[in-house]
Structure 1
Amino acid sequence: MSNSLYEQLGGEQGMSRIVHDFYDRVIADNEVNHFFKNSDMDRQKQHMSHFLGAAFGSGEDYDARLLTGAHAKLQAGHGHFDKVVEHLKDTLQEHRIPQQALNQAVDQISGYRQHIVQH
């Protein structure tokens, strides 16, 4: 398949819908919502759309070191990371993303674990 994962997920509009629905799930989850308690969620959604777009092949650049800096003080553990990835997976399934694309997305995001989990 020649289309990037980003294109398979609907490009910019698809990312926007996915990110919006993803954060609805995350904010409703008491295990991880405290990480966003003082966040500007519109800004957070923009950052996540950019990050996911780059991770999924939009052609935009994204410096993974930004993730390390942004998450350094959060003290997020592996369980938190896994829970957030689970919400992403559930969101993608809700959007009826084909299983192969869903697996590719989860694998791609899982590769950023070391930049987000600090302990």
Structure 2
Amino acid sequence: MEDDVLDRLGNGQGLSKIIEDVFKRLLDDPRVKNRFRGRDIEQIKQGFTEYLQSLFTKNSNMYTGLPLSEIFAGLGITKHEVDVFFYHLEEAASDAAVSHTTIQTVLTTLSSLRSEVEGK
């Protein structure tokens, strides 16, 4: 199932385009753009792309970054900020012609990781 989700996202190249679009939207969004000030956006995009590829493939060794709980420790990310991220992810995937079912699968999977991101 996991590899099928990655296929439906367009594999590495398609997923990279979606992530590029997500971050363009986030950086233009006044609700969250300041969260990225002074950060290496290219590194964040690359890490997130690798994380999603690892999450939706049987090759869990693809992601070599820190655990999410360590990445987000001390940042105080709010539920609202995560919701904004999910909104932009949904819009970018939809614009990339990803099916509603696949988008919901991705969002459901990522929602299960909220506790590792929010309020740390």
Q: TM-score, normalised by structure 2?
A: 0.88
* 100-109 or 54-63, which deviates more: 54-63
**Aligned residue type for 2:39:** S
1:51 is the counterpart of 2:58: no
Q: 1:58 to 1:16 in 2, by over 3 A?
A: farther
Count, aligned residues: 119
Using the TM superposition, give the Cα deviation of residue 102 of structure 1 relative to its aligned residue in structure 2, in angstroms.
Answer: 1.0
* 25-34 or 2-11, which deviates more: 2-11
Using the TM superposition, give the Cα deviation of residue 2 of structure 1 relative to its aligned residue in structure 2, in angstroms.
Answer: 8.5
Segments of 5+ residues of structure 2 without an aligned counterpart are: none
Using the TM superposition, give the Cα deviation of residue 53 of structure 1 relative to its aligned residue in structure 2, in angstroms.
Answer: 1.2
Segments of 5+ residues of structure 1 without an aligned counterpart are: none
Q: Distance in 2 between matches of 1:2 and 1:78?
A: 26
**Aligned residue type for 1:6:** L
What is the DSSP-based 3-state SS (H/G/I as helix, E as strand, rest coil) of the residue aligned with 1:30? coil
Q: Distance in 1 between matches of 2:64 and 2:110?
A: 14
Residue 39 of structure 1 aligns with which residue?
39
Q: Distance in 1 between matches of 2:20 and 2:92?
A: 10
- Provide the alpha-carbon RMSD of the alignment: 2.1
Residue 101 of structure 2 aligns with which residue?
100
Q: TM-score, normalised by structure 1?
A: 0.89
Q: Distance in 2 between matches of 1:93 and 1:102?
A: 8
Q: 1:58 to 1:71 in 2, by over 3 A?
A: same
Given that residues 27 and 36 in structure 2 are in contact (C-alpha distance below 8 angstroms), is that contact kept between their aligned partners in structure 1? yes
Question: Percent identity at matched positions?
Answer: 22
Residue 81 of structure 2 aligns with which residue?
80
Q: 1:47 to 1:106 in 2, by over 3 A?
A: same
1:12 is the counterpart of 2:12: yes
Residue 22 of structure 1 aligns with which residue?
22
